[in-house]
Amino acid sequence: MKYLKYFLVLVVFSSCNGPRAVYDYDQNTSFNNINSYKIFPDLDSRVSQLDEQRLVSILQTEMASEGISFSENPDIYINFYASEYETASGNNIGIGVGGGGGNVGVGVSGGFPIGGPDTYLRLTLDFIDVKNDSLIWQAVVDSQFDKNSSPKNREAQLKLMVQKALKGYPPKK
């Protein structure tokens, strides 16, 4: 019984979904020579204009912390776009009825979802070599996202997603 409370704490912490990221890159690119960036001129972010402004601001801050500066004649373009998707709620309540006698048993059960579907945001960051017009690095980050949260919370969630994406840059070969 004394381990039950530790088990419950473990379940609560493991159920909290933080952003998950996947990275890919061109193995023939030298990332040490990249010193400047610019947001892709034909940006189609697929997010609201306010979220797009938040993402640009976050990227400016994070790229500066990586030592990569904004330039009108950049080494790379940064393109980003997002999509939303929903998954069925993982919270269910199960109800069952059963009975039996002798060597025979019969049972009927069913699960009913609690709450609505979970909304996720998939943010993709592309780094494009300006000279070759080719994709050299990409990060895809999935995270639970509340469309109805306050602007401050939205910005915090987007910042967390961008930081998770940039953890994979520069790639470790």
**Region of poorest pLDDT, from 9-13, 71-75, 81-85, 104-108:** 9-13
Using a pLDDT cut of 70, give the percent of the chain over it.
Answer: 84
Q: Which pLDDT value is given to residue 2?
A: 58
Question: pLDDT-derived band of residue 10, with 50, 70 and 90 as boundaries?
Answer: very low
Q: Which pLDDT value is given to residue 87?
A: 79
Domains and CATH numbers, the chain: 19-26+34-85+117-173 (3.30.160.670)
Nearest to 140 by CA among 168, 113, 115: 168
Q: Which pLDDT value is given to residue 68?
A: 96
Residue with the bigger pLDDT between 43 and 99: it is 43
Residue with the bigger pLDDT between 157 and 10: it is 157
Distance, in Å, from the CA atom of 53 to the CA atom of 156, rounded to the nearest integer, reads 13
Residue with the bigger pLDDT between 74 and 13: it is 74
Q: Which pLDDT value is given to residue 14?
A: 45
Question: Positive or negative CA dihedral for 33, 39, 42, 47?
Answer: positive
Q: Which pLDDT value is given to residue 1?
A: 55
Question: Positive or negative CA dihedral for 35, 65, 79, 122?
Answer: positive
